A and B are shown apart, each in its own frame.
Chain A
Amino acid sequence: MSVSAASPRRLKAQPVGVLLPLALVVLAILVAFTLVPGLIAPHNPIALAMSDRLKPPSLLHPFGTDEGGRDVFSRVVFGARYSLGVAIAIVFVSALFGVLYGALSGMAGGRLDNLMMRIVDLFFGFPALVLALAIAASMGRGLGSVALSLSLIWWPGYARLVRGEVLRLRERPHVEAARALGVSRFVILLRHIIPFVVQEVNVRITTDIGYALVAVTALSFLGLGANSPTPEWGLLIRDSRPYFGSAWWYLVFPGAMIMMTATASSIIGDALASRRPG
């Protein structure tokens, strides 16, 4: 049945269209939290104030207080740079290494490519959190160790993605033309392939930041990452464990923050994905 290109199937408006502005607002808030927490947070995130412990949300303390009387909202604001900062660092480091690795593998082709990809496959066989636990045990706790172990887990995803793209783009006419002209493989990689790959990678980076954040907070929750009194979001939730049965705000707000950030990164990533050509 030939229906011409102006095919009239009724498409419902994509939900992303409505959510994207919300996601961008969240993004703006996070940027503010990360860069200028001092301007936003009304209280000191670290100083104890035992007379105010475990107070429910109020105008003075929008997210309530924790067991040390500290304002939860302020702690959340200051925590952004730890939780989100580490997540971003992890994703960028993994992406950097993964992209280089994948690009080289794809361009090399043949047996070297095979071997390099086998190594990548190997990494996919390891369960992430468990390995992170082992690495933290071995190398000591702290956000640095968390960053390292999560980077080790994340980079193969980028390697595979980029190598796939490189292989696909190698077959494109403009690349073949360049080869025929005797352009070196390295220059081909830089000029003809990487620009296209970068778009894909950007989409993945955006969505991965959300996932990395969840992973970082999970490790902190287990006690591998940050230490008290750092207001890292996962740590906040860990600290809330003895109290959250009655002090619900202690659990809800840090978690909601994580969730909102992860969802926003997912939405923005999807929006980027649908915008790229083809």
Chain B
Amino acid sequence: MKLRIMGPTLIGCREAWHLLAAFCCAALLSTLPSIAWPQHDHPTRQSAAPVVGSLAVPFDLNSLDGKSVGLAKYRGKPLVVNFFASWCDPCREEMPLINELASEGAKEGYSVLGIAVEDSRAAITEYAREFKLVFPIALDLNSTVKRSYRIFGPPATFFIDGQGIVRDVVLGPITPERAREAMKKIGIAR
């Protein structure tokens, strides 16, 4: 068996960008990084939250097939962002509906993007195959986007209009009725 004694390591470039984005966009915590391992008492609680009517927090992640996926790419047309995980029971409940939304997106002029949280590429690959998912999936492997969107647990679905403004948020599994209502808010009548 290999034994390793591991010390602190430098933050990678991509991770640093993610951290920076999270800091800037969601006003996360203090701006004074501490290199030492601090003795913590209760840290400052984050107060900012992406709310309906505010600009969606930008992000840049890798997709399941290794390509870059960012919010900016979708600017100009409505977007449904679904946070999910392969281990999540209610995510499975709603996934056929999310997939149905996605399959109608091209002709209706909107997009659906899945963001997998707290999961692995292998598990999500299996999941996408099982559900025959037709929409792109971004991997939020370090939870930076999940945190900036203030999601306690999947599923959660954000409805973003063509100007990048969040028009509705559904926490928990979405129903067809609720989806219809939310889609209307981003200009899509179903």
- Tell me if chain B binds chain A: no
